[in-house]
Structure 1
Amino acid sequence: MKKLIIKGTMVTAMMVMITFACKDKFLEVPATGQLSSAQLTSKAGLDGLLIGAYSQLNARGFSQSASSFNWVRGSVSGGEANKGSNSGDFNALTPYETYQLLPSSGEVNAKWNAMYEGIARCNSVLRALGGAGADVTAAAKTQLQAEARFLRGHYYFELKRNFNMVPFIDETVDYGAGIEKVTNATDIWPKIEDDFKFAQTSLPETQGAVGRANKWAAAAYLAKVYMYEKKFAEAKALYDQIIPNGVTSNGLKYALLASYSDNFNAAKDNGSESVFAIQAAANAGSSDNANPELVLNFPYNTGSNGPAGCCGFFAPSFDLANSFRVNANGLPLVDGSYNSAANALKNDQGIASSAAFTLDTGPVDPRLDWSVGRRGIQYLDWQPHPGLDWIRDQSFAGPYSPKKFVFYKAQDKVLTDGSSWTDGYSAINYNIIRFADVLLMAAEAEAEVGTLANALKYVNMIRTRAANPAGFVQQGGKAAANYVISNYASFADKTAAQNAIRFERKLELSGEGHRFYDLVRWGVAEPVLNAFLAYESKLLPTAYSGGKFTAGKDEYQPIPQTQIDYQGKDVLKQNPGY
């Protein structure tokens, strides 16, 4: 059983005095279900407020597109997957794959509101600390402040990379009451840095409960911020500390797990690769304590021989599946030739499950079959993927099913929540930052400052783990496909290193919500995504109809029109192009 932070409802500080006249006496009756300020400023009360700030990481009560997972914006907009399902179901997500978002979108507004809700909860902790009770030691007060600022840094980081120019509201601003209006005219990167720096220097190296941020998580997040700001030397200095010395919140030395797939197995959560994760727990009082943001992302119509049975969303793209093709030496086709007729994976698009189908026998990276559910390959411990029978509408979603963050048959009703309409509420954590991500960002920083040998070392660490035969998908007592993978011998120059590292991020972190943001921060979103659209739209013309990425506009979502209408055009300026 995990010892972790169970997600809970935000405790709202409110003092209500009810007086009741009875002859000459007055009776004070505390409001039912509400806490006094003394209760909220105790150690337990403050910790409850902080847990409320943690609980917003999965954007419970908002939308699947609002979560810190970012499977919609990070992966669908990044070309790793399409919305999936069919054209009519939850079609508010379709504009994310065609870059046709509008300021009036409810999904855009949900992301904005969910992140500011998280910030409001962090600010509530920081305000309450000003009146901390006698049972709150100075050390405890500093730690609570540091965790709240770490989380606030995360929520602002999410806002910054999704909307760019956003208002920064701290605990001194009475923003919720509408007394003060804060413009989005000032870049908030320095404020985000400040929150993570404070957290890094003030948090302990380990915590009493997994899931709580520690100093190493704060250092990794600060380094990630530096990567977005292109402060590569500063990021490298942090990676030089984190990689040899960093530990998880529960004290495990950072290290790659032996098997790649262990990162997506609820039974192996909070292992040595988990730097900071959204904690999920099944059968803990509410299905929202699991991972509600992923509840749609399972093969369709699976019955008792497959997981969840709904709803066919988050279908891996043709481009992503093809990306796992390797050459005879086991190296990826970084030049982009993986989509050519000679290299594209053989798939069962348009072929009935009852019809014959011959599997692709060409060489592929073994991470393919942990990342993409494809016909004829064992789907965890359920059965070989049957193809069309598990796809709601191939003409819209393509032939593939999501496979990461899917629970095992042996875990059904144990590590999934059986209290709701679907078993899709599972206890699989989502790692906002995992150690493989740290290593690849470190490799990138090393390449940018010119130390190619270190960049090579970090990339090959990732590839060596992927090459472990014990971690291959097995079928019939042997590897399920022709898995071939090898390390890079060298990087000829900085450009070669950059290309290899960027492609490795695509393979290693596929479907984990990073891709779109990576393309934007590298400055290559327009050519890469328009090339993706040109390829994918030929195979799925309905899904990608009208799709076009416009440079200078589509890097960021529009500021929600609802927020502009509420605050005023003089307070919130719309992003360019909307």
Structure 2
Amino acid sequence: MKKIKFLIYFVIVSVLPLNSCQDDFLDKPALGVLDEAVLANREGLNGLLIGAYSQLNGSPAALWFASPSNFLFGSIAGGDAHKGADGGSEIPMDAIMRMTVDPTNGYINAAWNYYYEGVTRANSVLRVAEQVDDIPDEELANIIGQARFIRGHFYSYLKKMFDNIPWIDEHTTDFHQPNTVDTWPMIEADFRYAMEHLNETQPDVGRANRWAAAAYLAKTYLYQEKFQEAKEIFDQVISSGVTSNGLTYGLLPRFQHNFDAAMQNNEESVFAVQMVAQDGTNDILNANVGDMLNFPYGGPFSCCGIFQPSQDLVNSYRTNAANGLPYIHDYNQHEVKHDMGLSSSQPFEPDAGPLDPRLDWTVGRRGIPYLDWGNHPGNDWIRDQNYAGPYAPIKNVYRQETQDQYASFYSWAPGTAINLLIIRFSDVLLMAAEAEANLGNPESGGSICEPGQEQGGQSRWICQEIHQ
């Protein structure tokens, strides 16, 4: 028997070199990959769709490299926050913060891979949807609309971050595509289809609905300075929009409830990435791990002081005592008092001047209640004041009273069940005001818009966030 086996192995080994250069030998399907045809039914297609939604919260390979909050390429690169901790931690973030980044920066590649993975998952849904024959047309259109919404979301991030990007869709077979084609029209088409085919409400609150797609479409127009098109869609969203669970859009009476896991999926949530903690799976990846580094350093939190709001952001919350409105052009000339250079044992009195009350639900600062954890102590919760300033983040932080419900703990950093809001209704109002102002209708934006510098011969406007 052993001799027979030996002969068989010998023949196989002998034949391999003869066939190794032939295409039919090399052209084999990947092992362990499920054929898409097996998924061409209601259950399989919905499974693929859920997989596409799951990419909204990143992946184990991305984590904070490409958080759905976009804190690194948004707030830190934009000046709302500093890369905190100290100079020896997460060094590639420094280059992004200082605008000295180059293609060797690993965070750039991680973001690219993360966003295109989202595109790939959405494309898988759309490709398999063409093979499904056991789903009614209206239900199938709703699934396709969700997949195109998700694809539009990821392409929107790619376009804003990289500008020149290749367009890969469900029919692409040659992935060596040029990046010379403007992708905004295709992104528009995805959101337009979603707006026209998605249900007004959905069975699961985390699914995109018609009005979320409409808001995203209008936002896409706004980025292209198509102000009239944006205004028309924003008007519809403001007058008729509802959440996926059927709540009429509106502003919450309390600003802080937007960032409280016990109060989420409310009337201000246009589209949110759903987070969950303590769900019995022991899987922290279901929580908001993209922001797991962004907690105060020290105190009751285990990590890591990376994200620290800037003085520039804090100063923008200073209000004029005469009318209660923010300063627009010269807010940095009305600096908010801080405890820079002071230890937590040294006396300090917080700023006594007029401030927008939303400041202290956005920024942790010394001497002010920090959720229900007591007053922020200042330097004891800051890793290195001299490196990144005296402030701490707060929006992504869980509350002490409910941490057993809404916080999950990795070996060295926490995740939370606080949803990540991609679009809030207050964002819609602000963007609508931006469109109105640029159409020459500043009165429609109330007192939140003022003329700014002209660009390209066009009068530009600066719009502050809607006051609640």
**TM-score, with normalisation over the residues of structure 1?**
0.72
User: Match of 1:335, as an amino acid?
Assistant: H
Distance in 1, Cα, partners of 2:164 & 2:450: 38
Deviations 1:174-202 (A, max 9, x none): 2xxxx441010111011001111111101
Are 1:332 and 2:345 an aligned pair?
no
1:367 to 358, 374, 381: 358
Residues 182 and 74 of structure 1: is their aligned pair in 2 closer, same or farther, counting only changes over 3 Å? Answer: same
Quick check: 1:68–1:158 contact (8 Å CA) kept in 2? no
Deviations 1:82-137 (A, max 9, x none): 01011111111111210011111110001111011000001111111121142x22
Distance in 2, Cα, partners of 1:112 & 1:64: 13
Deviation at 1:299, TM superposition (A): 0.6
2:395 to 376, 401, 404: 404
Query: What does residue 118 of structure 1 align with?
Result: 118
Quick check: 1:416–1:423 contact (8 Å CA) kept in 2? no
Query: What does residue 19 of structure 2 align with?
Result: none
Query: What does residue 83 of structure 2 align with?
Result: 83
Distance in 1, Cα, partners of 2:98 & 2:305: 19
Residues 366 and 45 of structure 1: is their aligned pair in 2 closer, same or farther, counting only changes over 3 Å? Answer: same
User: Match of 1:41, as an amino acid?
Assistant: A
User: Match of 2:243, as an amino acid?
Assistant: T
Cα RMSD (Å): 2.2
User: Match of 2:98, as an amino acid?
Assistant: T
2:315 to 304, 316, 322: 322
Write the mapping of 1:231-310 to structure 2, written as runs, cut at 5 A. 231-284=226-279, 285=281, 286-302=283-299, 306=300, 308-310=301-303
Are 1:53 and 2:48 an aligned pair?
no
Structure with greater Cα Rg: 2
Deviation at 1:346, TM superposition (A): 1.4
Deviation at 1:295, TM superposition (A): 0.3
Deviation at 1:209, TM superposition (A): 0.2
Query: What does residue 429 of structure 1 align with?
Result: 419
Query: What does residue 443 of structure 2 align with?
Result: 453
Distance in 2, Cα, partners of 1:259 & 1:148: 33
Residues 214 and 328 of structure 1: is their aligned pair in 2 closer, same or farther, counting only changes over 3 Å? Answer: same
1:205 to 200, 206, 214: 200
Deviations 1:128-175 (A, max 9, x none): 1121142x222221111111111111111010000001000110112x
Query: What does residue 378 of structure 1 align with?
Result: 369
Distance in 1, Cα, partners of 2:406 & 2:364: 21
Which of 1 and 2 has higher RCO (CA within 8 Å, sep 6+)?
1
Distance in 2, Cα, partners of 1:436 & 1:405: 18
Deviation at 1:283, TM superposition (A): 2.0
User: Match of 1:388, as an amino acid?
Assistant: N
Write the mapping of 1:408-487 to structure 2, written as runs, cut at 5 A. 408-418=399-409, 420-422=410-412, 424-456=414-446, 459=448
Are 1:167 and 2:158 an aligned pair?
no
Deviation at 1:452, TM superposition (A): 2.4
| 2:408 aligned counterpart, secondary structure | coil
Are 1:189 and 2:150 an aligned pair?
no
Quick check: 1:153–1:196 contact (8 Å CA) kept in 2? yes
Distance in 2, Cα, partners of 1:37 & 1:492: 54
Query: What does residue 4 of structure 2 align with?
Result: none
| 1:414 aligned counterpart, secondary structure | helix
Are 1:358 and 2:357 an aligned pair?
no
Aligned length: 431
Query: What does residue 3 of structure 2 align with?
Result: none
Quick check: 2:251–2:426 contact (8 Å CA) kept in 1? yes
Deviation at 1:48, TM superposition (A): 0.7
Distance in 2, Cα, partners of 1:169 & 1:492: 40
Write the mapping of 1:31-50 to structure 2, written as runs, cut at 5 A. 37=36, 39-50=38-49
Quick check: 1:254–1:272 contact (8 Å CA) kept in 2? yes
| 1:218 aligned counterpart, secondary structure | helix
Query: What does residue 464 of structure 2 align with?
Result: 503
Are 1:313 and 2:310 an aligned pair?
no
Quick check: 1:440–1:501 contact (8 Å CA) kept in 2? no
Distance in 2, Cα, partners of 1:492 & 1:413: 46
Distance in 2, Cα, partners of 1:210 & 1:236: 27
Distance in 2, Cα, partners of 1:382 & 1:500: 40
Query: What does residue 349 of structure 1 align with?
Result: 340
User: Match of 1:89, as an amino acid?
Assistant: S
Quick check: 1:443–1:501 contact (8 Å CA) kept in 2? no
Distance in 2, Cα, partners of 1:33 & 1:208: 33
Quick check: 2:272–2:422 contact (8 Å CA) kept in 1? yes
Residues 140 and 93 of structure 1: is their aligned pair in 2 closer, same or farther, counting only changes over 3 Å? Answer: same
Shift >4 Å, 4+ stretches: 31-39, 491-496, 498-501
**Residue ranges of structure 1 left out of the alignment (5+ in a row):** 1-30, 460-490, 509-578
Distance in 2, Cα, partners of 1:60 & 1:209: 22
Distance in 2, Cα, partners of 1:242 & 1:59: 28
Distance in 1, Cα, partners of 2:372 & 2:32: 45
User: Match of 2:415, as an amino acid?
Assistant: Y
Deviation at 1:36, TM superposition (A): 5.9
**Residue ranges of structure 2 left out of the alignment (5+ in a row):** 1-29
